[in-house]
Amino acid sequence: MQGQIEELSQQSESEDLWQDRQRAREILQKKSQIESEVSRFLKAETNFSDLKSMLGLAEEENDERLIAEIEKDLKGLANHMQAYQLESFFSGEADHNSCYLEIHAGAGGTEAQDWAQMLLRMYLRWAEDHKYSLESIEESPGEEVGLKSVTVKIGGSKAYGWLKGESGVHRLVRISPFDSNARRHTSFASIGVYPVVDDSIEIEIKDSDLRIDTYRASGAGGQHVNKTESAVRITHIPTGVIVQCQTDRSQHRNKATAFEMLRSRLYELELRKKEEQSSSSADKNEIGWGRQIRSYVMQPYQMVKDLRSGFEKGNVSAVLNGDIDEFLRSSISVLHL
């Protein structure tokens, strides 16, 4: 990697670098990405060396309090390196990209729509904890509570690599807060994750393959965004892919965002085709896109279980508050090992 940095540095210092702006951006972006990776490794290596030296001194002085603090720091470093190790599996074309995350409530009305909103909160908490940026793209509220559907953009390095395994159906079992008889209900919601793609990835989209509709954005009444048909829905007729955006008051900007989302969705379809065609993907296909991947049980016992890896955790409240790293790691292990 350091050799790559030297090579890219020489290219970036070339006098004719900016004659091809696209190539220049790609060189500088790649150089920055590799420098970040090297810096991260060297920082962890230095941290480990310092902790090891401090531990030796603390043991010589029999300082139990300092030893306990160092052990805590070492566990934190071990967790960091475990995540770093898993990221070495991120060899896919788009694994280092930002991503779009879609949530759709399943059948069941209010129950499912409330569950969709709970899932959104879980992923937003996780993204905030990991310093990812967030941008609301589309939101369709439920009739009473919750959400029928929602799309957010999660921006930052490796967002797609970490979250792509979340695509599928998520099931909730609980005593319904909307049932006066306090009966147990099962709700479903589907998650879709697809990568943000840049201009360096060529995706052919014919105008004749598109149907573009405009409509009034949903949300609180009285706002300008609801008084004009600023929201845009694009349907790609050959694949049936539908994207929509209502994040801006400008129909033009919403259309541009929706088009970028469509490019991302079509690119993800191509990635899936490659995955299915690879000789080693037979077992992975059982994981399935759109299949039920995780159960969140709040009654009659407390348990969240990933149905692919078998990993489970009893603290449902913590998971729904964004503590999903262990589930992401377990799904990545199943997808790549």
d(CA 310, CA 185): 23
Are 64 and 162 within one domain? no
Are 244 and 102 within one domain? yes
Q: Can you list the positions of beta strands (E) in the chain?
A: 99-105, 133-141, 147-155, 168-175, 184-195, 210-215, 231-236, 241-245, 292-297, 303-306, 312-313
Mean of pLDDT values over 77-87: 86
Residue 86's pLDDT band (cuts 50, 70, 90): confident
Residue 226 has pLDDT above 80, yes or no: no
- Nearest of 141, 146, 150, 147 to residue 178 by alpha carbon: 146
DSSP state of 217: P
Residue 294 has pLDDT above 50, yes or no: yes
Residue 11 has pLDDT above 50, yes or no: yes
Residue 175 has pLDDT above 80, yes or no: yes
- Nearest of 151, 170, 165, 181 to residue 112 by alpha carbon: 170
CATH number of the domain within which 292 lies: 3.30.70.1660
Are 148 and 81 within one domain? no
Residue 197's pLDDT band (cuts 50, 70, 90): confident
Mean of pLDDT values over 175-197: 88
Residue type, position 58, single letter? A
pLDDT at 28: 87
Whole-model pTM?
0.77
Q: Of the residues 40, 57, 87, which one is the last residue of a structural domain?
A: 87
DSSP β-bridge partners for residue 134: 154
Mean of pLDDT values over 300-308: 93
Tokens matching residue 5: 């940095």
Contact 232, 245 (CB under 8 A): yes
Are 162 and 107 within one domain? yes
Residue 51 has pLDDT above 70, yes or no: yes
Which domain range does residue 28 map to?
2-87
Q: Look-up: residue for tokens 């995540």?
A: 83
| Residue 83, SS3 per DSSP | helix
Mean of pLDDT values over 42-50: 95
Mean of pLDDT values over 294-310: 93
* pLDDT cut 90: percent of the chain above it: 55
Integer angstrom CA distances of residue 143 from 109, 216, 219, 246, 298: 8, 16, 11, 18, 24
Are 142 and 274 within one domain? yes
Are 128 and 213 within one domain? yes
Are 141 and 266 within one domain? yes
pLDDT at 248: 82
Are 63 and 206 within one domain? no
Instruction: Provide the phi-psi class of 221: left if phi over 0, else alpha when psi is between -120 and 50, else beta.
Output: beta
Q: Of the residues 66, 87, 108, which one is the last residue of a structural domain?
A: 87
Mean of pLDDT values over 16-25: 83
Are 78 and 215 within one domain? no
Are 67 and 113 within one domain? no
pLDDT at 223: 45
d(CA 316, CA 313): 7
Q: Of the residues 49, 64, 87, which one is the last residue of a structural domain?
A: 87
Number of folded domains that form the chain: 2
Could you tell me whether strands 147-155 and 133-141 are parallel, antiparallel, or unpaired per DSSP bridges?
antiparallel
pLDDT at 67: 95
Residue 47's pLDDT band (cuts 50, 70, 90): very high
Residue 94's pLDDT band (cuts 50, 70, 90): confident
Q: Can you list the positions of beta strands (E) in 8-98?
A: none
Are 72 and 99 within one domain? no
Are 214 and 81 within one domain? no
